[in-house]
Structure 1
Amino acid sequence: MEISFVGAGNLAWHLAPALENAGHHVNEVYSRQLQHSRQLVSNLYDARTHSDLNFADSPSQLFILAVPDDSLESVCSQLVLPENAILVHTSGSQSLSKLERWETIYSDVPVQTGVFYALQTFTRGRPFMDFMDIPICVEATDKETEDILVKLGQELSDIVYIITSAERSTLHLAAVFACNFTNHLLTIAHDLTTAQQLEFDLLRPIIRETIQKGLSVDNPADVQTGPARRGDLSTIERHLAQLENAPQLAEIYQLITKNIIQRYRK
């Protein structure tokens, strides 16, 4: 399939090479940051940078919007596509109906719309990721487009689901808790240790065991440990005393502790 990317950020950095490795051809890459599109194109077979959002003469059949959620409508309002092209966004939280509505408003030609959401955290500049075990969540406004996106997903991954916008939004919310919030808590742990000239490496074994243990069971609640789980109020009070001069961290500590205690209260 002939494909063009609108956006050259974290996701595009990994998805574009993966599509080429699966036998597809990336024609063009557009990015507001020309350096990003040039860097991505340098990792592709014979793609070229595209200077604007007018793709009317593009040979591509599929156009992948790999841009931040709050830029989607603005990009759609300027995007010019070939007739009967397929336009997909890659957002976890934006609905398909919004994309369909924007294309109805802004496009002068018929365009099929869909969603091609890879449920993973991506960072540009890191080694290219193998998509084989990354869930691909697909949605489309018509069966023909859905079939095309499912086939495309299956060429990349062993895990392809057809899900609704509401289901995808729930997955995205859950991923924020499991991924983004977890990483932020690790950042807080790093700040606490380094502030006392302690090596963050001392925490790596317990972090590794916690994640591995949580993933080894059906419900991570079954392996919850710690003072809140035990109802160890004296330890909790000592921890809060240590955070006396860090009220924001104390608030986070209290909120999570309260939630754990309430969940496991007998």
Structure 2
Amino acid sequence: MHSSTKPINSLRIGLFGTGRVASQLGPALVAAGHRVAFVWGRTPAAATALAAQLPGTRVLPTLAAPLPPADVYLLAVPDAAVAPLLAGTIWPAGALVAHLAGALPLAVFEAQPAVRGGVFYPLQTFSAGRAIDWPAVPLCIEAADAAGEATLLALAGSLSRDVRRLSSAQRLKLHVAAVFANNFTNHLLGIANALLAEAELPAELLAPLVRETVAKALANPPFAVQTGPAVRHDAPTLAAHEAALAAHPAWQALYAQLTASIQAQL
């Protein structure tokens, strides 16, 4: 569901994590008018560096004591760290706690009945040195209770113009799709660059092709605009390509598998 939720008054945010997502999200929350009450991270130096960018934010040195009060606690930590963090923290009764993971279900909160669980999933890739256009980032929300959902929807609406309610099952499928669209595509571009380097050719040769490929796929059903030797069943070209990949057996096998997958869609 697309939401046009309007921004809300300033909320106190407890931010767990100091990695790529937290480092981008913290400043965005402050820019949207919220206050990051504290930052916690496994590496004190990283927590200190992030807190220094957020006015009025302090570093939480330990999880051993009860947490400072916050309207929302956001867990911007790796998926595998969410459950241990939930279990190892003394949460205020009724605390609204949301993880930011794409593939982790809302059910991860069931082992902590004292908290109100939620999901605040930003559908974007985060890398150091890359600015994020937060108003364009889809924010996917799920919550265990109506009040928590309302708070998370409004918080998301203060950052983005694209806010959606998604179930855990929908979000998992979305995350798989995102891996194909982003991670696998990036890996294939890496292979392409490596092959160009072997031929002493510049990577920018592919830039116009990549831009047109992405633009065309966004404007049309991608399967409907597929081109190339696999679609044409051009056996001599396919054989020549596989022979050219003889020095890279894994890439050769991947080429054959992708060719078969394309042909299966025809």
Task: State the TM bucket, normalised to the shorter chain.
Answer: over 0.9
Establish whether residue 101 from structure 1 lines up as the match of residue 105 from structure 2.
no
In structure 1, C-alpha distance between the alignment counterparts of 2:180 and 2:65, rounded to whole Å: 37
Count, aligned residues: 256
Deviations 1:101-121 (CA, angstroms, capped at 9, x unpaired): 2323xxxxx221100001111
CA distance, structure 2, for counterparts of residue 209 and residue 64 of structure 1: 38
Amino acid across the alignment from 2:212 = E
Q: 1:148 aligns with which of 128, 146, 151?
A: 151
Deviations 1:171-221 (A, max 9, x none): 00000000000000000011111122111111111111111111122x112
Counterpart position of 1:235: 237
- The aligned counterpart of 1:111 is 115
Return the letter of the residue paired with 1:118.
P
Q: Which amino acid aligns with 1:120?
A: Q
Identity over aligned pairs, percent: 38
Distance in 1, matches of 2:120 and 2:80, equals 17
Which position in structure 2 is the counterpart of 1:199? Answer: 202
Matched, 1:91 2:91: no
Which residue number corresponds to residue 161 of structure 2? 158
Distance 1:190 1:182, change over 3 A: same
Q: Deviations over 1:209-256 (max 9, x none)?
A: 111111122x11222111111111110000001111211001100000
* Preserved CA contact (<8 Å) 1:89 1:116: yes
Q: For residues 68-126 of structure 1, what are the alpha-carbon distances to aligned partners after superposition, in whole Å with 9 as ceiling and x for unaligned?
A: 1111112112111222211100000000012x22323xxxxx22110000111112343
The correspondence of residues 8-157 of structure 1 with structure 2, limited to 5 A, is 8-54=18-64, 56-98=66-108, 100-104=109-113, 110-127=114-131, 129-157=132-160
Q: Which residue identity does 1:263 align to in structure 2?
A: Q
Instruction: Tell whether the 8 Å contact from 2:136 to 2:162 is kept in structure 1 after alignment.
Output: yes
- For residue 254 of structure 2, the aligned residue among 242, 246, 252 is 252
1:57, distance to aligned residue in structure 2 (A) = 4.3
Q: Give the superposition deviation at 1:36.
A: 2.1
User: 8 Å contact 1:63–1:88 — kept in the other structure?
Assistant: yes
C-alpha distance in structure 1 between counterparts of 2:233 and 2:49, whole Å: 52
Q: Deviations over 1:125-172 (max 9, x none)?
A: 433x22111111100011111111111111111111111000000000
Is the 1:18–1:130 Cα contact (8 Å) retained in structure 2? no
Instruction: Kindly indicate whether the alpha-carbon contact (under 8 Å) linking 1:41 and 1:49 is maintained by their aligned counterparts in 2.
Output: yes
Contact 1:135 1:161 in 2 (8 A): yes
Q: Say if 2:98 and 2:117, in contact at 8 Å, map to a contact too.
A: yes
What's the C-alpha RMSD, in Å, of the aligned pairs?
A: 1.3
Secondary structure (helix, strand or coil) at the match of 1:211 reads helix
Higher relative contact order (CA 8 A, sep 6+): 2
Helix, strand or coil: the match of 1:80? coil
Q: 1:246 is matched by which residue type in structure 2? A: H
Pick one of 224, 227, 235 that aligns with 1:225: 227
Give the TM-score normalised by structure 1: 0.93
